Amino acid sequence: MDALKVGCVQKQPPARRHKRVKGGGGMDGVRDVMHLLEERVAMLTGGRDRRGGALLMFPASARRDRLKPDDYHRLIKYLVNIPTDEIRETGFTVIIDMRGAGSTWGCVKPILKVLHDNMSSVVHAAYIIKPDNFWQKQRTSLGSHKYKFEVNMISMEGLPKVVDSSQLTPDLDGTLHYDHSQWIDLRLAVEDFMLQAVDLLDQLDDIQEDLARNDFGEDVASAKNGLEIHAGMKKRIMKTPVEEVDVAGQRLLQKLSGDTSSGYDSGYSGRDSEASTTNPDLQAAVPQILNHLDSIRSSQAHLLQLWQHKKLKLDQCYQLRLFEQDCEKMFDWICHNRDVFLMNYVEIGRSYNLAKELQDEHNDFTISSMNVYVNIKRILAVAHRMMEVGHYAAAHIRTVANRLDRAWKEFAAGLDERTAVLALSVLFHHKAEQYVENVGAWNQACETINIPSEILMLETAIHQHQNLYESMCQAYTEVHSTSKKLLYQLDHLVQICNQPGMEHTRKH
């Protein structure tokens, strides 16, 4: 019944997050530059210069001649994106160690060129630790290049003027503890967790998108199916690995904090744990981890809230479709039975027996109709309860319920009208037939010609005849009066028959 249908007005869901691109928007991860890190081409030891800028270290290496500019570019780009934005804005201090066999000016220039061409905005200065046999012509070659940042040759003795020895590793005569293998392992753990978290947040986003769909059923079957699908959504939410990722995040935070008091075996202890807690570049991941953990928890909580809100709406939708279906059945019953009994609505019988038979049939029909009224009362009570609890379609429910109530009252009024007509018909035919039956006796009584001679008997005869006359008049008056009432009621029934049918009532 399209006229009874109403949809659910769904609240607009919160703006959906854009899909996260795994790997940082196309940037290399630690595994992409693993071979370069393992060769110790460049490092972020966590040291700081006297300004507070991060140190980007290029240790002495005999393998620099094998590296290509693209290798440097990928590795440097990866490393400079690890510290915080504030540190990047401060600018990196680059230290290139030219000591050791195989270190030539030709191996250093590609590093400076990559920094100049691609990273100059985040580089404050570059210091090249000169070897003992550094030639003057190489110094001249250095001076002939113009870089967007300061480039200086520096000796081991002069390095502490730029960077305190507590911020330098032992290979540069400093005291800063740095474990490169541990650093790689921690970065692997951080990035693996980030990928897990991003993947989980994407799953939660997908579920939120599914929850936002306006999939409210248009009939009882589809509404019930919607509830079953929605129950599956709850299982889907609970199956997301929120707890597993949360535990992984907590373990990672404990590794980064060097916490050995927990039940988790972090795999790091002693100076290794100290190195992770004092390395600010590793600690830069902590806010990101905490943010991801918070986003995951809040996303799951928000999803459960959305799920519960939609569950309420789907329950209401199912109740609405049941209500509409029940109303449809009642409208159909009223429409069909009204049309059926209107077919002989003005039939009143041509005799007392026929009228009585019609009256008995109508009484039986009225009793069965009262059973239907019990259902209608139940439907109207359900409608009232739905409106009381704030159903989203309360206005529509009120309209349909009022229409059903009005249709029933019109139908019941028709029953009452016919009940009254048939009662009058039975009464009329009963009195009319009695009148006709009495005509013979009355006629015989009037034809009696024995007139008494005695006064007393004559007075008695006159009195009896007067009583006969009055009873005849009374009987006629009753028949006439009943006939007038019956004719008036029949005229009213004819008017009812000419009113619009139930289909018209349902549409309007």
Please tell me whether residues 352 and 492 are part of one structural domain: yes
Interval 122-136: pLDDT, tens:
999 999 998 766 554
Please tell me whether residues 168 and 209 are part of one structural domain: no
Q: Let me know if residue 34 belongs to a domain.
A: no
Q: Let me know if residue 243 belongs to a domain.
A: yes
Q: What is the pLDDT of residue 40?
A: 93
Q: How far apart are CA 173 and CA 157, in angstroms?
A: 10
Cβ burial, residue 409 (10 Å; 0-12/13-18/19+):
exposed
Q: Is the pLDDT of residue 150 over 60?
A: yes
Please state which of the ranges 194-198, 233-237, 463-467 shows the lowest mean pLDDT: 463-467
Q: What is the pLDDT of residue 141?
A: 53
Quick one: how far is CA 181 from the chain centroid? 47
Q: What is the pLDDT of residue 276?
A: 59
Cβ atoms of 204 and 306 within 8 Å: the answer is no
Q: Is the pLDDT of residue 325 over 90?
A: yes
Interval 25-53: pLDDT, tens:
456 789 999 999 999 999 999 999 999 99
Cβ burial, residue 355 (10 Å; 0-12/13-18/19+):
buried
Q: What is the pLDDT of residue 403?
A: 96
Q: Which long-range contacts (CB under 8 A, 24 or more apart) does 183-188 make?
A: 183/43, 183/44, 183/275, 183/279, 183/282, 184/30, 184/34, 184/37, 184/38, 185/267, 186/255, 186/256, 186/276, 186/282, 187/30, 187/82, 187/282, 188/30, 188/31
Please tell me whether residues 225 and 292 are part of one structural domain: yes
Number of domains in the chain: 3
Q: How far apart are CA 154 and CA 246, in angstroms?
A: 47
Cβ count within 10 A of residue 329:
14
Q: How far apart are CA 194 and CA 245, in angstroms?
A: 10
Cβ atoms of 44 and 179 within 8 Å: the answer is no
Please tell me whether residues 351 and 495 are part of one structural domain: yes
pLDDT class for 333, splitting at 50, 70, 90? very high
Q: What is the pLDDT of residue 274?
A: 56
* CATH number reported for the structural domain that contains residue 224 in this entry: 1.20.58
- Mean pLDDT value across residues 66-81: 93
Q: Let me know if residue 30 belongs to a domain.
A: no
* CATH number reported for the structural domain that contains residue 160 in this entry: 3.40.525.10
Q: What is the pLDDT of residue 28?
A: 78
Of 310, 317, 299, nearest in space to 241 by CA? 299
pLDDT class for 496, splitting at 50, 70, 90? low
Cβ count within 10 A of residue 207:
19
Of 462, 463, 465, 471, nearest in space to 445 by CA? 465
pLDDT class for 76, splitting at 50, 70, 90? very high
Please tell me whether residues 123 and 229 are part of one structural domain: no
Please state which of the ranges 73-87, 237-251, 276-290, 361-375 shows the lowest mean pLDDT: 276-290
Q: Let me know if residue 168 belongs to a domain.
A: yes
Percentage of the chain modeled with pLDDT above 90 = 54
pLDDT class for 99, splitting at 50, 70, 90? confident
Last residue of a domain, one of 268, 286, 320: 320
Last residue of a domain, one of 115, 148, 176: 176
Please tell me whether residues 280 and 389 are part of one structural domain: no
pTM for the complete prediction? 0.73
Please tell me whether residues 141 and 193 are part of one structural domain: no
* CATH number reported for the structural domain that contains residue 433 in this entry: 1.20.58.60
Q: Let me know if residue 139 belongs to a domain.
A: yes
Q: Is the pLDDT of residue 12 over 80?
A: no
Q: Let me know if residue 23 belongs to a domain.
A: no
pLDDT class for 477, splitting at 50, 70, 90? confident
Q: Is the pLDDT of residue 188 over 80?
A: yes
Please tell me whether residues 394 and 410 are part of one structural domain: yes
Q: What is the pLDDT of residue 2?
A: 56
Please tell me whether residues 306 and 390 are part of one structural domain: no
Interval 111-120: pLDDT, tens:
999 999 999 9
pLDDT class for 455, splitting at 50, 70, 90? confident
Cβ count within 10 A of residue 214:
9
Q: Let me know if residue 27 belongs to a domain.
A: no
Interval 342-393: pLDDT, tens:
787 778 888 989 989 999 999 999 998 888 999 999 999 999 999 999 999 9
Q: What is the pLDDT of residue 61?
A: 81
Last residue of a domain, one of 176, 196, 223: 176
Q: Is the pLDDT of residue 270 over 50?
A: no
Cβ burial, residue 390 (10 Å; 0-12/13-18/19+):
exposed
Domain limits for position 424? 344-507
Q: Let me know if residue 339 belongs to a domain.
A: no
Please tell me whether residues 255 and 357 are part of one structural domain: no
* 348 to 355, 471, 502: CA distances (angstroms): 6, 27, 24
Q: What is the pLDDT of residue 7?
A: 59
Please tell me whether residues 238 and 369 are part of one structural domain: no
Please tell me whether residues 109 and 200 are part of one structural domain: no
The overall average pLDDT reported for the chain is 85
Cβ count within 10 A of residue 430:
17
